Structure 1
């Protein structure tokens, strides 16, 4: 049986600082294949090359990954400043309408780090350009030095709402996560449900209110050691189950209705 196909919304990259490619992290691909039980497919993030309708027809679900470029503040009605960092307008143009269409249709989406912020912005939220500059907030950025193990090390707890969606997926209300982000949700959109927060109040886990499909998104990076990490593993398994259900629904539309 063909596995559910998950489109990976990744990033643009230069090989040897000159050859442009569309890239997705091996950790994301491995998590989707080995834990979610899905076939990972890297999506070219350029609106002149792909359309929302085509992507939704080809894929059963979508993973919106982390990335250094930030969502452009014009997408949430603010003026860009130096503090907002770098941008990728092509990714904005592919990801944001795709998120809205998937939410409306019930097609599974899973947002990670920048992907978490894309889901938030697509659904009407605004973002802070730099969490660590806010009074009373911690530095959530990736450590500048060290090995991958040190950069992705667990750094703070995330507390979920009691009996909320994430609590039920995880089987516990408090988990330990890594943290590698600079921006964060400022004002959530009307349908954004903040279901998990860091000790300093930074939103870390959200889903879309009244969405007919899987919309869980997290600010940390669960792709790290997703095969063995007790926090990452249930997230990718739940996403995989949602994608499998969508695949089954598409292949047997009459059965899903009955």
Structure 2
């Protein structure tokens, strides 16, 4: 007798924004495997890479194809001109291709109801499109902690050890995922929020008062932006897994709604 295989339900499709890189003199696109693994294993979604190429991305097509998007962290900084500040020093790593791609498509994706998870640079990008501003060097500001990654000679996995606590603000998205009001996180960054953008709800702060997480207040879909790196701690951090699980659940809901809308 023939053996019939039970087909697994199709997974939601999650776009992961890439960085623009140079590879042997060629322009390329790069996504770290930590994001791929977190989306696949914890969010239980199908990760696809979105190139840092504004000319290749179409908002309507993305809304008809994707069920969520992850805005990744990056060693590059958002160009200061994007939030009305003086240009960053020439020595600062920037990614103008990514700036153009992400900042150009995000308003369309947010209005279209796409679930969004912003991590590190992704938080900063979401703040900028909501008319917020960034501090280019948080560690140089009086009263601020040094949020940078520290000694580069350490093994790379040690870069993502917890670095400071955050205070979770009651009543938000993050409170529903966190097990405690004060949680240690692996925050590592140079840039940070200066002025929080319009319509954004703070979700957590660092001991120095820096906003470390926010959501979009009036967005009906899941939106969460965080300054730390849960993708690197999915094996040993409950909150990291909870964040990607909640994001994946929102993507599944989006997938169902999208499929129902196209049925005859």
| TM-score, normalized by the shorter chain, greater than 0.5 | yes
Structure 1 stretch displaced more, 150-159 or 51-60: 51-60
Please name the residue that 2:121 is paired with: 114
CA distance in 1, matches of 2:110, 2:91: 27
Show the counterpart of 1:52.
59
Aligned-residue offset at 1:84: 8.4
Deviates more, 1:188-197 or 1:164-173: 164-173
1:158 and 1:73, CA in 2 relative to 1: closer, same or farther beyond 3 A?
Answer: same
Provide the residue aligned with 1:75 in structure 2. 82
Matches within 5 A, 1:167-182: 167-182=175-190
2:38 corresponds, among 22, 31, 35, to: 31
Q: TM-score, normalising length from structure 2?
A: 0.91
Q: What residue is the counterpart of 1:93 in the other structure?
A: 100
- Give the corresponding residue for 2:143: 136
- Cα RMSD (Å) of the superposition? 1.7
**Partner deviation per Cα, 1:157-186 (whole Å, 9 max, x = no partner):** 111112332111223221111121001111
Question: Offset of 1:151 from its aligned partner?
Answer: 0.6
Pairwise CA distance, 1:141: 0.7
Are residue 219 (structure 1) and residue 222 (structure 2) matched? Answer: no
Count of matched residue pairs: 254
- The residue matched to 1:200 in structure 2 has which SS? coil
TM-score by length of 1: 0.93
Kindly indicate whether residue 142 of structure 2 is the aligned counterpart of residue 149 of structure 1.
no
Aligned mates of 1:213, 1:194 — CA distance in 2:
17
Question: In structure 2, the residue corresponding to 1:98 is in which secondary structure?
Answer: helix
5+ residue gaps, structure 2: 1-8
Instruction: State the Cα distance separating 1:19 from its structure 2 match.
Output: 3.7
For the residue of structure 2 that corresponds to 1:55, the secondary structure is: helix
2: CA distance between counterparts of 1:202 and 1:79? 21
Matched, 1:249 2:264: no
Q: Do 1:131 and 1:184's aligned partners in 2 also have CA atoms closer than 8 Å?
A: yes
CA shift, 1:93, in A, is 1.4
Indicate if the aligned counterparts of 1:103 and 1:212 stay in contact, CA closer than 8 A: no
Query: Matched residues in 2 for 1:40 and 1:228: separation?
Result: 22
- Contact 2:222/2:247 (<8 A) preserved: yes
Aligned to 2:3: none
Work out whether residues 52 and 94 of structure 1, in 8 Å CA contact, stay in contact via their aligned partners in 2: no
Larger Rg: 2
Residue 65 of structure 1 corresponds to 72
